[in-house]
Amino acid sequence: MSLPMKRLLIALSCAMAALSAAAQSTPPDDALYRALGGTPGLTKLMADFVPRLAADPRIGEFFKETKLSELQKQLVDQFCVVSGGSCVYEGETMKNSHAEMKIRKADFNALVEVLQESMDRQGIPFSVQNRLLARLAPMHRDIVNTR
């Protein structure tokens, strides 16, 4: 797995740890998870999203040495947790995994665009996409580290 990918996974982990801590203090709301189709829906989404990331000319370089199947699995777990599912994410924190990757705001935005394309292709309603993106947005501060 490439260093950039490891850092991406670490950054995602941090966000997940924070969400897990919050989830322990309140009853879980899995409405978004269910709206995304649960684990099967997230698996299908990531099967479309991860290859698009790797092929994207703007950000594909970050994934060139990444084991895409492992990334896909970790993203399913992470998105499951973020959306309120009962999965467990065991990857690195977002901050640690992205610390030395020199990720710019434009790189982050490109990833979001690719995710939106994948969600569109999977027929995920716009309102559900917005709810997911709102939950993922706080990761920005742990991922973007270069101007």
Residue 98 assigned ligand-binding role: yes
CA 47 and chain centroid, separation: 13
Calculate the alpha carbon distances from 117 to 48, 110, 124, 141 in Å: 9, 11, 10, 23
Q: How far apart are CA 127 and CA 111, in angstroms?
A: 19
Q: How far apart are CA 142 and CA 40, in angstroms?
A: 28
Binding site, annotated residues:
98
Residue numbers in the known binding site for heme are 98
